[in-house]
Structures are given as structure tokens and as C-alpha cells.
Structure 1
Amino acid sequence: MSNVRFDDVSLAFGLKPLLDSVNFSVDAGERVCLVGRNGEGKSSLLKVVSGDVIPDSGVVRFQDGVTIGTLPQDIPDASDKTVFEVVAEGLDEVGGWIAKYHELIEHAESASALVELERVQAKIEACDGWSLNNKVDHLIKRFNLEPDKKMNSLSGGWRRRVLLAKALVNEPDVLILDEPTNHLDIPAIAWLEKQLIDFRGALLFVSHDRSFIKRLATRIVELDRGQLTSWPGDYDSYLEGKAKLLEDEARQNALFDKKLSEEEVWIRQGIKARRTRNEGRVRNLESLRKVRKERREKQGRAKISLEEASLSGKLVAEAENVSFAYEGGNTLIKNLSLTVMRGDRIGLIGENGTGKTTLLKLLLGSLKPTSGVVRTGTKLDIAYFDQLRSALDPEKTVIDNVSEGREFLTIGGKDRHIISYLNDFLFTAARARSPVKALSGGETNRLLLAKLFSKPANILVMDEPTNDLDVDTLELLEELLTAFKGTLLITSHDRYFLDNVVTSTLVFESEGRVQEYIGGYTDWVAYTGGFDELGKDNTAEKTSSKSASSDELKEVVNGSSKTEVKKVSDSPKSKKLSYKHKLELEKLPGEIETLEAAMETLQEETASPDFYTQDHAIVSEKLAELEEVERKLNQAMDRWVELESMME
């Protein structure tokens, strides 16, 4: 039986219906992802399910006794409440008594406070509140939270974790999440995925994070022009089915428009059309006109284009033994050496606060390192996408923010009227005259892209560009960046986006260490195990041959010309080397050096800006060759460490 069911539910704000007599249900144990363009009404649908919005017509039915938990899209302003108090709020009135008891037990010293403590204790016992108190304690421990921490002392990611505990504490049958991954770093997203997979109730969530959707969703439901379409199965099945549906819709619309056109020609023949025996045909034409007038066209796709500048110098930026720490703070970057060449496409991965934005500023020359040297190249035309949106004036209109007093912009060598240009980014003439402060998060990010791409650039630096963008716009942005011939530096927590755009990644590991790896996010995880494995490395001694060889491979990927393999002093000395093993050990350094040279050559070749313009077969063959060289190098280094550990 369905936990929640919509029967002919309609909802409209203004003239455009968000829900148009829709039927919809969520069954127990399902994980349903609601997708659709920005502004289609996804958040409004969630509010109907949670009871925060009453539909205009139709019925919303709930199974008897069903409970709803919600995790809102926007994190409330931080308060001075403790973590325990906020989590306990999820238990309604009894939660307030439990929170009060928790506060009193910590500070009850006076006689009056002890009397109040007894009163609160009696209230809790009267409603069997102690078992609920145990639920609060259990969730706080499970989520690695500190119960007495103040909310205003926590980062956004940790506050979202507290709010999830609050939503789960009453063990809801249906959990509603609106963009739960917004502003979370990759480790926090991975943690959230695990918690939600373990959740036994039904999930109804909105997300534009395609990796998150692929991991969680058992069914996709799309909201498009007031209608809901259900797609059982995974995200890839939805994409295939959606493409076919749009093709069928376009074909049917074309046939309808052809028939309408033929009837319009006929009616203009005059007297023949007004004869009594043709009145039925005239009424049919009127009906066709009405249907065509009421047709809701699919919102157009943004037409993002980029004004590219002339090529920069071959060297974009070079960092040599660079370290950086803010005054009185921890070292964010320690002894980093890095070379960024023209055409490089680099993604920056790390937890919030580890220094990704700081490194971008160091490479751009807007921040000076604590130690070391940063050299920048020549002919650099930089376009910078700031996640804080400081380039936008919230009081000015959309037009004024982009035009900067100009009526026409030069895009691709041609003059474009500002309204026409903004229309490419899905801003109507009326919306273009609205102040920025009135825009949604997705619209604000589209505006920032419009401003960014209105000026020539050969270096794109993008700090979290994917926040609040719908999937269609994300895919278009990916296409644009893939075709861009300049240099890309991108920080993002969108794993799918990184995989599709970058060719190498800088990973902020711990204690200021920054390591470079070939490929995108998935390649890095396959190679290292991801952040979970990094956490283990930081707390345990690296005594195995596998650990040592992994560290050395990181140095190779960083561009070291030679690798110094460290002996594992704690490894057991199981036996002496045989003559055959000694010969093998003597040959390995030369083999490793040859493989390193081969890999360096292949890396330079694949990093060339023209590499991906070649025939697909050539690109695939060269990437496979690089992968094979890496595999052989890995094996050789593992074998070297193994033989070294056998020596007395």
C-alpha cells in the first residue's frame, strides 16, 4: 500500500499550473527522485507532501499512522541552541521536555533548579519519553555529533548533518529531502548516501547531483509542464526513456500542426467553408485552435556560448615549494610544486575548508604564499566564477549586471543585443529587468555564467559552478567546457561533472598535502580508494608493501622524474633472496625508470589541448596505452618493495 498518494492534485501560483490534475504515489521502501527544470514546481510538490502547502484541488491521501520527516533545501540561520536540543525538536513536545531535562541536568545547582528538574522528569515519564531520549542519544552518536556543541559554531555541512538527525529521530515512514547535497563536500555527500541507503522508510528527494541520483534512486519521477511521468529503474533508463518520449512528442506535435495548417488553408477558401454541410469541420477547426493555444511548450534549453580569447602562453602558472597558512591558522598548503600548462583541465577535490579556493587565488597571483614561489605565464585572460557571487550586485537588474552600461555585446565576433544574449540563458525580457536579489539560486548561477562568458577568456577558473543548476543546464555547461580550448581550473563537489570535464585532479588530503592524479573523480577513487582510505592512512602506520607502493605512485603521478622507494622497516624478513631474485631486483630500477619516462611522454601527449580533437579511436588507443604503462609501473614498484622487504 502507498504511504502517500495524489489523486487529481492541482496547484498553481499565478497563471501557470505547477501541478495539473496529477496522480502520484510513494510506496514503502521506495527511493523516489523527483527531477525537472528549475522553476517547474518540485519544491512545491514536496511541500504538498509534507503538509506545508494545501493544493488548489484534488486529494492527498496518507496511509493511517504514516509519519513524515523533512530535510529542507535551505539551512536555517545558525542559533545558539545545542545539537542535542535541535535533534530533540524532531520529537515535537516531548522532545522539548527531553531537551529541557538535558539542559537542567548539566547546570542544576540551586534548589529551584532541582525542583524544575523533578517536574520535567515527571513530564517525560508520563509520556514514556526515556525511550525517545535514547533515540536522540543513539542518533547523535551514530552521526558523530557532539551533543553540547552550539549550532552557530558548526559549518554548513555539520548543521545539515544535525538537521538530518532531527528528521530521522521520530523514525518517519517517508523522508523528504530537497537538494540534500547542496554545499556539502564530497566526504559529507558519501556519508549522507550511506545513511540514506541504510534508511528503511521511503525516500522522496529532489536532486541535480547525478552521481547521488544514480546511487540512491529506485525510481525517477519527472515534473514537466505540470505533469508527472514515472520512470521505474535507474537514472540511465530514465535518460533513454525521456529521449524517446521527447521524440514521440515532437512527432505528434508536428502531425497536429500540419493538420491545423491544412484546416486553416481550407477555412480561407471562403464560401465553401461556411456551407451548412461543413459546419462540423468548422467546429473541429475551432477545437484544434483551442488545443494548440493551450499547449505548454517545453522550456527552451539555454544556449550558452563562450567568447574565447587568443591563446595564452604555454606556461599558465608554476608553483615551487609553495606553502600557505592564514595568520594564527593551520597550514592549508604545504610544500606544493605544480606546473599548469596551456590546455590543462584540472579539478580540485577536498573537504570544505581545506584550501581549494586559496590555491586558486595563489595560482592567479591574487594571494601571496607564506613561502615558496608562484610564477604566472603571459597573455592570460582570466574569467573567474566565484561561488560567493561577489561579481553580482543584488540591487541592480539582470541587464545592468551583465551589460555594464552597454546595449550591445560582442559575442563570437558579432554584436548581440543584451536582451537577446540574456534570452540564451533563459531570461525573458521581463525577468531580465528584475533585480538580482529576486532571482532563484539556479537563475543567479545562470546570470553569473552569462556575465562570465560575455568577455573573452583563455583561462577559466570556476569555484563551485554547478550549485543550483538543473541537469539540462549542467549538461550544456559540460559540453561548452569540453569544447573550450583554453585552460580550466575547477573546484566542484559534483563528481559526475568532474568526470565529464577534467583530465587530472588535485586532491587535498591532510596536513596541507596536495597530490595530483590523472583522470577525474572516479579514476582517483579507483586508484586510491577515496577519502575513506585517506583517513585510514592518516591514523595507521603504513607498514605494508601495498601502502609504500601507493605512496610512491602518487609521487610518479605528481611528475617526479625519479622515485625513491622507501624500505618498510617493520616488514617481516621472511627469507634470504635467491640468486634469481637478486638479479630481478638489480634489473627493476632500470625498468621503473623506463616506465616512468614512457608515462611522462604519454602524459604530455594526452595533456595537449589538441589531443581530444583527434579521431576517437586514436584517443582511446592512446589512453589505453597510458593505462597499461601505469599498470606495469604499479606492478614493478610493488615487486621492488616486496623484494626489498625480503632482504636481511
Structure 2
Amino acid sequence: MSNVRFDDVSLAFGLKPLLDGVNFSVDAGERVCLVGRNGEGKSSLLKIVSGDVVPDSGFVRFQDGVTVGTLPQDIPDATDKTVFEVVAEGLDEVGGWIARYHELIQHADSGSSLVELERVQAKIEASDGWSLNNKVDHLIKRFNLDPDKKMNSLSGGWRRRVLLAKALVNDPDVLILDEPTNHLDIPAISWLEKQLIEFRGALLFVSHDRSFIKRLATRIVELDRGNLTSWPGNYERYLEGKGKLLEDEARQNALFDKKLSEEEVWIRQGIKARRTRNEGRVRNLEGLRKVRQERREKQGRAKISLDDASLSGKLVAEASNISFSYPGGETLIKNLSLAVMRGDRIGLIGENGTGKTTLLKLLLGSLEPTEGTVRTGTKLDIAYFDQLRSALDPEKTVIDSVSEGREFLSIGGKDRHIISYLNDFLFTAARSRSPVKALSGGETNRLLLAKLFSKPANILVMDEPTNDLDVDTLELLEELLTAFKGTLLITSHDRYFLDNVVTSTLVFEKEGKVQEYIGGYSDWVAYTGGFDELGKEKSSEKSNVVSEPSPAPKITQEKQKAETAKGKKLSYKHKLELEKLPAQIESLETLLEQLQEAVGSAEFYNQDHELVSEKLAELESIELQLNEAMDRWVELESMAG
């Protein structure tokens, strides 16, 4: 049974139809993800369901008694209301009485407040409000919130937790979420996923976070040029089906255009070539022209390219035992030693406020460490994504923000007109003349990318570059960064993006500890178990450490791990891992033997010092990987046996 259903619903702002007679429904228990390009109308569709927008035509029908809860895309400005008051607001009028009762209980020190307390208590009792009060208490405890905390004292992630509790407190049948992971750190996203999986109602959400979509969605619905297409199943099935649909559409359009072209040639042959014209054929041609005119073409894909600068020096930055803390604040970074070499692709992950952006500034030399030293390399042409945000003047046009007074830009050794260059980032000529303040979040990020890539660079530093980008632009950015030959430093909460782009990860752990791991986000989770829902890292016993290799594990440690693993069920994923490990161990052993033989030769230390250092570091890394692979094999064998 459908909780909500659209019947021939249409909506347009100006001349552009966002919804063109769509039919759509969400059934009880479904988790439906709405995807599509920025500006297609996804948020407007959600607002129709929530009742904030009325469609131009058609009907929106709800099953009798269905209630709707909403988690908005933008977090409202923080106020001095308490957490309890905000959560209770989700219960409408009775929620206001409950919140007032809670406030009076905290300040029951005068005769007048006692009189009002009795009055409010009577209203709560008359509306069976005590059970609702228990719901507020239950959600606050479940979400690990402090009921008396002021909203303006909480971070964005914690305020979003409060708003989710507010949306859930009335037990909605349909929960609507618009980009719920925006500006959340990875622990908060993992926590949110857990809460939503446990939610028993229907879920309708918009997201560009592919890991989030994969974890939650039971159906994908795409909004494309005013039409909705439903794709039952997971995200992979959607991608496969979407690819086939676009191929069919392109083939049909090509056949149509060929027929139209043939008819246009026929009509132009004139009287000499044809004594009498076929009036039916003429009318048919007019119909073809009208259909072609009304065809809504799919928005083109952004054509982002990067102009590589000359190579930087081999060393980009070297930190030696650095620590950093702001005056009167906690230590963000403690005793970190790290070398960033040319070509490294490093991702930084951790909770908001743990020091990721601070470390970037330390490595770039724009901030001095409290202790230790940072040495930067030579020939560094740095492009810093985050710095451009503050450099954008909201009153300037898109053109002026990128061109800096130039009509032509030099991109890849060729001159490009500024309008042509901006068109690569999906800005039309008209949109290019719009002020920055009129842009959407996705358009602003595309503008930042256009500004970033308008100059050559060999070091890319990107602080949360994926916020508000649609999936198509994200995928193109991934391709670009993968092909980039320089050095890459990225902070991001987009787990899928990190897996596709970086080759090593700096994880910000507790008490200022920063640890480096081989691989992306998923590799780190496989090594350590990742963060728990409070943001603290789980056991890092199996961590694949790069910066400070640990000695080979002792036999007693292996036995201890094996004992711990006993009784655990071997999952399908673990079985596959166990099957691959022997070949991986054999390959590592062969490589280790080759390196040991090379290092042991008499001529080895007569080579260039840098080459010697590289080989020794590689030997140490392979030894570490082999030890860890052996550990993992023992652990999984114990689980299987």
C-alpha cells in the first residue's frame, strides 16, 4: 500500500518544467533515493511531499492517517533553545507544553512558576502528553544528546542529530531527508546510516553520497528533464540500467534526426524537382520540427581539465616531530613526523574539528607548528581549493570571478575565451553573467573548480571539494584527479570519493595522534574497523602503518588473535579474503626475496643516495605488509576452523 502517491503532477518555475506530469509512489517500508543533476527539481519534489510547495497540476494523495517527518537540507541558524525544546517541537502544540514543563522544572524556585507548572501539567495530562514526553526523553537518550544543551553551543553535526530526533519524535510514516550527509564527518554519517536502517517507516531522500546510497537505498528514482524513472534494486543495478537507457535514447534520437534531415532535404527541392507537393508529407514534416523543438536535451557533462605545471621537487613537505595547539585549546596534532613526496595522493579523514585543515596549513607553510619543524620543497605551484571559497566576492559575476579581467585564458598551452571555458563547467553564457550570490551550492562548487583549474599547478590541496556536487561531476572530478601527475592532498567525508582517488590515508585519532595507512577509506576500515559512532577509532591492532612500522608480531600475539577469532562466523566477504591471501602472501614473499637479494649485493650502496633510501623504505614496507598478511591469514583460518 502506497503511503504517498503522485498522479500526473506537474511543476514549473519560469519556463522550465521541473515535473512534467509525473506518476510516483512510495510504499511502506521502502527506502527510496531520488537522484538527478543539480537544478533538476529534486528538492522541489520533496517539498511537495512535505506540503511546503503546491504543484501546478495533478494530485498528491496520502494514505489515511499518514504522517510526514522532514530533515531539511540546510541547518537553521542556531538559537538559545535547548535540545529538549527543539526535539519537543516535533510534537506540535503538546510539544510546546512539554518543553515548557521541562523548562519550569529546571527553575521551580518561585510561587508564580509553581502556579504555571500546575497549569501546564494539567494541559499535558488532558492530552495524554506524558507518553509523548517519554518519547522525547527516549530519543534524546538514544541519540546520545544532552537535553539541556543550547543549540548554539553545538556543532553542525550535533545540531543535525537534534533535528533528526525532532523529525522522528512523532513516529512519522514517511521520513524526508534532503542531502542529509552534507557537512557531516564520517563518524556522524555512519551513525546516521545506522539510525535510518533501523527506521521502520518509508524513507524518501536525496543524496549524492554514493556510499550512503549504496548502504540505504532499496530503490533509485531518477529525475531527469521533468520525468521520473524508477530503478528497483541497488545502486549498481541503477547504473547498469541507466547506461542502457541512455544508449537507447541516443539511438532513437539519431534515427529521428536522420529522418528529419531527409525530410528537410525533400522540402527544399522546390517546384522544379517536384510539380506537386505531398501536403500530408508537408504536415508530417511540420510535426517532426515541433517534436524536435520540444525535445529536452540531457544537460551535457562538465569538461573539466587541469593544466599541469612543471614538476615540483621530489620532496614536497617534511614534518619533523610537529605538534600544534591553539592558545588555550587542546592539542590537535602531537609528535607527527611525515614526508610528503612528489606524486603522493593523500586523504585526510577524521571528525570535524580534529585538525585536518590545520595540518594542511602546516604542511603548506601558512601556519607555524607549536613544536617541531616543517620543511617545504622547491618548485611548488599550489592550487588550494578551500582558499578560493573566501576569495569569492558574492557581488561579482561568474565571469569576473574566474577571468580576473582577462578575456582569454591560457589552458593547456592554448588560449580559451572565458565564456567557452566556463561552458566546460556547465555555465551558459547567460549564467556566466549572473552574480555569485545567485548560484546554487552545486554551481558555486563548479565555479570554485573552474577558478582552481584556470591556472597550472603541481600541488592540489582540496578541503571538502565534493560538497553539493552531483554524481556526474563527482565522477568526472575523480577521473581528472586520478590522471593528475602532481601531488594531491584531500580532506573529505565522501568515502567513495576517497577510495577512488587516494593511495594513502592520514587518520586523525584521539589526543592529537595522526596515523598514516596504505590505501583509501575502505582499506583503513578493513585494517582497523573504522570509527565507532562516537567518532573514536576502533581497535587499530591490525593497522597497516606507513610512517612508523611496527616490529614483526610475535608468535604469542598471533595465538592471541587466533583465540579471539574463535567462535566468530566467517562471512562470505571473509571467505573471499581468505581465498586470496595465500597468493598475496606468495607474491609478497617473492618480492621480499628479490629486494633482500638486491640490498645484499656489494654494489647496492654505491648507487645514488636517494635510490638507496627508496629501496630500503620499500623493503621495510614489504616486510610490514607480509607480516600483516600472515597475521590476517592466521586470524581467518582460526575463524574458518
**TM-score of the superposed pair, with normalisation by structure 1:** 0.86
- Which residue matches 1:542? none
- Which residue matches 1:136? 136
- Which residue matches 1:228? 228
Report the secondary structure of 1:511's partner residue: helix
Question: Structure 1 residue 634: deviation in Å?
Answer: 2.1
Amino acid at match of 2:222: E
Question: Structure 1 residue 268: deviation in Å?
Answer: 1.1
Question: Structure 1 residue 459: deviation in Å?
Answer: 0.2
Q: Distance in 1 between matches of 2:398 and 2:513?
A: 41
Q: Distance in 1 between matches of 2:200 and 2:533?
A: 27
Amino acid at match of 2:547: N
Relative to structure 1, is the Cα distance of residues 451 and 422 closer, same or farther in structure 2, using a 3 angstrom cutoff? same
- Which residue matches 2:353? 353
Deviation by residue 1:564-611 (Cα, 9 ceiling, x = unmatched): 97999xx99x9xxxxxxxxxxxxxxxx9xx989949979xxxxxxxxx
- Which residue matches 2:582? none
CA RMSD, aligned part only? 2.8
Question: Structure 1 residue 391: deviation in Å?
Answer: 2.2
Mark the runs of 5 or more structure 1 residues left unpaired by the alignment: 539-546, 575-590, 603-624, 642-648
Please state if 1:241 is matched with 2:241.
yes
Amino acid at match of 1:632: L
Q: Distance in 2 between matches of 1:137 and 1:275?
A: 87
Q: Distance in 1 between matches of 2:58 and 2:632?
A: 66
Deviation by residue 1:41-66 (Cα, 9 ceiling, x = unmatched): 00000000101000000000000010
Question: Structure 1 residue 532: deviation in Å?
Answer: 2.1
Asked if 2 retains the 8 angstrom alpha-carbon contact of 1:68 and 1:174, the reply is: yes
Aligned ranges 1:119-518 → 2 under 5 Å: 119-271=119-271, 278-386=278-386, 389-518=389-518
- Which residue matches 2:604? none
Question: Structure 1 residue 557: deviation in Å?
Answer: 2.4
Asked if 1 retains the 8 angstrom alpha-carbon contact of 2:185 and 2:352, the reply is: yes
Relative to structure 1, is the Cα distance of residues 136 and 454 closer, same or farther in structure 2, using a 3 angstrom cutoff? same
Q: Distance in 2 between matches of 1:600 and 1:149?
A: 61
Please state if 1:44 is matched with 2:44.
yes
Deviation by residue 1:50-98 (Cα, 9 ceiling, x = unmatched): 0100000000000001000000000000000000000000000110010
- Which residue matches 2:106? 106
Report the secondary structure of 2:278's partner residue: helix
Q: Distance in 2 between matches of 1:253 and 1:147?
A: 59
Of residues 630, 633, 642, the one that matches 2:627 is 633
Of residues 546, 553, 556, the one that matches 1:557 is 546
Amino acid at match of 1:430: A
Q: Distance in 2 between matches of 1:600 and 1:191?
A: 46
Q: Distance in 2 between matches of 1:80 and 1:601?
A: 63
Relative to structure 1, is the Cα distance of residues 190 and 627 closer, same or farther in structure 2, using a 3 angstrom cutoff? farther
Question: Relative to structure 2, which stretch is displaced further, 626-635 or 256-265?
Answer: 626-635
Asked if 1 retains the 8 angstrom alpha-carbon contact of 2:509 and 2:536, the reply is: no
Asked if 1 retains the 8 angstrom alpha-carbon contact of 2:527 and 2:540, the reply is: no
In percent, how many aligned pairs have the same letter?
A: 85
Amino acid at match of 1:316: V
Deviation by residue 1:158-190 (Cα, 9 ceiling, x = unmatched): 000000000000000000000000000000000
Amino acid at match of 2:52: D
- Which residue matches 1:611? none
Please state if 1:86 is matched with 2:75.
no
Asked if 2 retains the 8 angstrom alpha-carbon contact of 1:548 and 1:566, the reply is: no
Relative to structure 1, is the Cα distance of residues 537 and 50 closer, same or farther in structure 2, using a 3 angstrom cutoff? closer
Relative to structure 1, is the Cα distance of residues 600 and 360 closer, same or farther in structure 2, using a 3 angstrom cutoff? farther
Report the secondary structure of 2:511's partner residue: coil
Question: Structure 1 residue 628: deviation in Å?
Answer: 8.8
Asked if 2 retains the 8 angstrom alpha-carbon contact of 1:349 and 1:493, the reply is: yes
Amino acid at match of 2:87: V
Question: Relative to structure 2, which stretch is displaced further, 104-113 or 251-260?
Answer: 104-113
- Which residue matches 1:614? none
Q: Distance in 2 between matches of 1:82 and 1:566?
A: 54
Asked if 2 retains the 8 angstrom alpha-carbon contact of 1:596 and 1:633, the reply is: no
Amino acid at match of 2:163: L
Q: Distance in 1 between matches of 2:594 and 2:153?
A: 46
Amino acid at match of 1:259: K
Number of residue pairs matched by the alignment: 587
Relative to structure 1, is the Cα distance of residues 269 and 140 closer, same or farther in structure 2, using a 3 angstrom cutoff? same
Asked if 1 retains the 8 angstrom alpha-carbon contact of 2:4 and 2:25, the reply is: yes
Mark the runs of 5 or more structure 2 residues left unpaired by the alignment: 564-584, 597-618, 636-641
Question: Structure 1 residue 627: deviation in Å?
Answer: 11
Relative to structure 1, is the Cα distance of residues 127 and 640 closer, same or farther in structure 2, using a 3 angstrom cutoff? closer
Question: Structure 1 residue 354: deviation in Å?
Answer: 0.3
Asked if 2 retains the 8 angstrom alpha-carbon contact of 1:319 and 1:339, the reply is: yes
